[in-house]
Chains A and B, each alone.
Chain A
Amino acid sequence: MLAYTVKRLVLAVPVLLGLTVIVFLIMAMIPGDPATAILGSYATPENVERLNRQLGLDRSLVEQYFVWLGNLLQGDFGRSYNLNRPVLDEVLERFSATLILAGAALLLCSIFGLIAGVATAVRQYGWTDRIVTFFVLIGISVPSFWLGLLLVLTFAVTWRLFPASGMFAIYGGGDLPDLLHHLTLPAITLAVVATGVIARLTRAAMLEVLRQDYIRTARAKGVSERRVIYRHAFKAALVGVIPVIGVQAGFVLGGAVYIETVFQWPGIGRMLVTAISTRDLLLVQGGVLVVAASYVLFNLITDLLQHLVDPRLRT
């Protein structure tokens, strides 16, 4: 297991490098000349050229990349002009808020998705199946940002059960109950779509597994039906569902962009949207890199988990 972990970590390095290449290329696509942008359209050609040299923009794209990568590796993600603070500081601070939100959502969608998937597979074509499948269909079709608005309207504005926005109360908040109180609505909203997807795929995986020969074997040796489903079938289905949860983690991290905007959650998604409209591109670049890198790391964890469940991968 340790050897495999090390191997996966080593294999993650080229992926991380690939991420930096793509982000670098996207940023290089930006139309217009940064020096002109900084100095204004009345700058003399000499001044533009000098600034270009200072910024290293007269060098080749490859050279620029390696200089940029070297800076990244030293933790230098640049400065945000609008916030007047190092990009990395801002990004990490915001990212912790996103992690809380996305983590809670991922926990919710995994638990409820698996439960719903197993329940519908076991009661295939029964009423439980129909009702849950109906809600799953709504769940995967509903725009999460709109659902968030509806929840705010219902639970925050009309019934006043939960706060409509923010991460902590402005006065007297800051403890865990306060956080959970603020977390409830956005986490549920963020989890809805992923719950639907996981439920669907769990149902399909369970139905597929329940037709396998080894399930017949389990029944043939007199194992109780409950055990057949929850031990034999569920464990085998989990092997197929774990990667799905990994993929959903990406959707949850990305979907946080909407939810953070709707609920004014001080996370990285809202930061990115603001930064895009204020053209604070270094902040965008830093935010994208950190989230993408964490996603790579999360996929690595999913892989290891998969490895733990499935002995066939260990040989």
Chain B
Amino acid sequence: MTAAGTTTALSPARRSGRPSAFRLFARNQLAAFGAALLGLIVVVVILTPALPLLDPAATDPANRLLRPLAENHLLGTDHLGRDILSRLLWGTGVSLLVGLSATSVAALFGSAIGILAGYFGGRADTVLMRGIDMLMAFPYILLALAIVAALGPGLLNALFAIAIVNIPFFARNIRGVTLGLARREFIEAARLSGKSDLSILLTEVLPNVLPVIVITVSTTVGWMILETAGLSFLGLGAQPPDADLGSMLGEGRKLLITAPHVSVIPGVMIFLVVMSINLLGDGIRDLLDPRLKSGALARPAPMTEVVRQETDYPGASTEGAVAQGDSVLAVTDLQTQFRMGDDVYRAVNGVSFDIRPQECLGLVGESGSGKSVTALSLLGLVATPPGRIVGGQVLMQGKDLLGLDAAGLRALRGDRAAYIFQDPLTTLHPLFTIGDQIAEAIRSHRPVSYKDAWARAVRLLDAVRIPNAAGRASAYPHELSGGMRQRVSIAMALANDPALLIADEPTTALDVTVQAQVLKLLDQLRGDSGASLLFITHDFGVVSEVCHRVAVMYAGRIVEIGPTEQVLDAPAHPYTERLIACVPRLGEPGRRMEAIPGLPPAVNALPPGCAFAARCPHAEAACREGEIALDALDVAHAVRCIKPRGRLA
């Protein structure tokens, strides 16, 4: 559960603040520039017959090879005295037309092959795609050359050759998408309703693959114009007296030294056409590629950006010892936000807690409650962009972690404080052996040889009960089971004897039986090593087994915190109460488990007052206004509720 988790709570009624498709496109200045340039070229080409130009074929030997800006010849003349400007505009038209025709032919046949292969699958797929693979086995231009060799040089033949060699790109892309679609429910439903294959293909499949066709067209059309020009350049495309940009360039090449403008000018035009199409194509692709809309493709910085408004926290200094009591970690008013377009998601909205030596604190909440973001914020691991820490203080060993620079954080990460993440399949690097990854954790903080680090890695793997640790150290993550992988993560976290372990749903991705084993191991190793543990989970059952204290999070805030037994036996917050009621208990088969009605509020549009009020059966008017404080019930137990359960009648 990462940044994306916070967006799942978005209510559909509210318009998303993420940039719209059109705004994205308009903001993409390069794409707009490409569109404008291409539009200009196309308009000029369309108007060419009406423009007061000289006849492109009219020779004038007396005025051959005039330089640009000559009288009557703006761009000069070629070796036969023909006007280059006129030839350029007519040639551009031919090149555009040929390129677009080749693209249309390739798109038509390629898409048809792709759709048929993907939709029908089986034999049809095998036969069609093997044929496509064969075409792909040729170096691109070479196949086109062979086809032109057979058909004979000529513009139309060049067009076909280029179209044929581009069919595989369309066929492959479109087959992939169709294959996914053909297994989807709505296609199945259409089949069951008695629609014919043809009508399903045209009304259900085609509209859905159209974006992919458009993307493929926009990325290949530039190429095709370039390649048809190339064939003409070689003398295999347009034959005199016809001329496209490529053949103009090819003819001018012989005069390169005496009259470079004859070949340079058509080259500039090809470049401008292809570049404008590429820019536009990139813009279209970005537009149709939904991932880019959330800004998710931005590269996460090495540490979360910290922009604290006010820094007058007690002892807010990165130097020297700060009074921190006897806690290992003290968090005060931590605030982390995600910015998506104009929206601000307050994922962590003023969280405070502390962890004492050797203590295990559970942090419990639903998906999107902000518990993982809290954990990641501690050592600046929230991805920036879009995340940033806007307030609070995190004290560890007398240092304010939010005031540290990247190097300071790096020194602490994996050394004094270590993380164990949720899904070990994605959190371990797939291309390095597990021994290597643990050794790296050690060597990042201690000046030991690789050999010694490896030996310690093996001992650690042994400590987390991995059988044949010495041999398994050379295994890659994909060669281990889920439970084993999580043991590796734990070994890696323990590598430098950290004072604090931060475990983010360490057992959620595992089978139930394996969960219990890993949990037991983690609890035991924590006890042995004397480390404190911040344990993040959505599962109250797990909390009761390992945590001394528990904090319950809702919509970015802690709503209740206290000793585990006290909270479990007598939850004070209605949300905690409902959450506990969701946990199945052994020996109580008849107990009804009730889901909590409704959804958590979107953290970019939090209501005033208690965030849970809308779902709370006990809510009253006072719950929906003002700031509700986290009030102490007794020394250790606090709750953010004006009507704590079982306390006030």
Contact = CB atoms under 8 A, between A and B. Distances in A.
Interface of A: 15, 18-19, 21-23, 26-27, 29-31, 121-122, 124-125, 137-138, 140-146, 149-150, 152-153, 157, 206-208, 210-225, 227-228, 232, 235-236, 239, 249-251, 253-255, 257-258, 261-262, 272-273, 275-277, 281, 284-285, 288, 291-292, 295-296, 299, 309-312, 315
Given A145-B249, A221-B492, A292 B300 contact: no
Residue in B130, B142, B379, B440 with the greatest tally of chain A CB atoms within 10 Å: B142
B234 A217 contact: no
A152 B256 contact: yes
B412 to A, nearest CB: 7
B270 A217 contact: no
Interface residues of B, number: 81
B406 A291 contact: no
Given A221-B414, A276-B148, A258 B134 contact: no
B145 A288 contact: yes
27 contacts: A15-B133, A15-B134, A15-B137, A18-B137, A19-B137, A29-B151, A124-B298, A137-B278, A142-B274, A143-B249, A143-B271, A143-B274, A152-B256, A153-B257, A157-B257, A214-B430, A218-B429, A219-B381, A220-B414, A220-B421, A222-B411, A222-B415, A251-B141, A254-B140, A257-B145, A284-B145, A295-B139
Given A29-B150, A149-B267, A216-B381, A228 B302 contact: yes
Contacts of B279: 137
B236 A311 contact: no
A300 B458 CA distance: 37
B421 A223 contact: no
A295 B134 CA distance: 12
B445 interface: yes
Interface in B612-626: none
Given A219-B413, A232-B432, A312-B430, 6 more contacts: A15-B137, A125-B298, A142-B271, A153-B264, A288-B142, A292-B143
B101 interface: no
Give the 4 A-B residue pairs with the shortest CB-CB distance, closest first: A254-B141, A146-B267, A221-B414, A222-B414
A205 to B, nearest CB: 12
Contacts of B222: 141
A210 B384 CA distance: 12
A220 B233 contact: no
B253 interface: yes
A258 to B, nearest CB: 6
Residue in B141, B222, B441, B476 with the greatest tally of chain A CB atoms within 10 Å: B141
A255 to B, nearest CB: 7
A146 B440 contact: no
Residue in A210, A219, A250, A299 with the greatest tally of chain B CB atoms within 10 Å: A219
Contacts of A250: 138-140
Interface in B20-59: 30
A291 B406 CA distance: 52
B149 A281 contact: yes
B431 interface: yes
A310 B190 CA distance: 41
Interface string B248-277: 010001001100100110010011001100
Residue in A223, A232, A261, A284 with the greatest tally of chain B CB atoms within 10 Å: A223
B423 interface: yes
B278 A257 contact: no
A216 B488 CA distance: 16
